[in-house]
A and B are shown apart, each in its own frame.
Chain A
Amino acid sequence: SAVISQKPSRDICQRGTSLTIQCQVDSQVTMMFWYRQQPGQSLTLIATANQGSEATYESGFVIDKFPISRPNLTFSTLTVSNMSPEDSSIYLCSVEVGVSEAFFGQGTRLTVV
Chain B
Amino acid sequence: GENVEQHPSTLSVQEGDSAVIKCTYSDSASNYFPWYKQELGKRPQLIIDIRSNVGEKKDQRIAVTLNKTAKHFSLHITETQPEDSAVYFCAASRRDDKIIFGKGTRLHILP
Contact = CB atoms under 8 A, between A and B. Distances in A.
Interface of A: 30-31, 33, 40-43, 45, 48, 92, 94, 96, 99-107
Interface of B: 32, 34, 36, 42-46, 49, 51, 87, 89, 91, 93, 95-104, 106
B101 A101 contact: no
Contacts of A102: 34, 36, 44, 46, 91, 99
**Which of A31, A99, A100 has the most chain B CB atoms inside 10 A of its CB?**
A100
Contacts of A105: 43
23 contacts: A31-B96, A33-B99, A41-B103, A42-B89, A42-B104, A43-B44, A43-B89, A43-B101, A45-B98, A45-B100, A48-B98, A96-B96, A99-B51, A100-B34, A100-B97, A100-B99, A101-B49, A102-B46, A102-B91, A102-B99, A103-B46, A104-B43, A107-B43
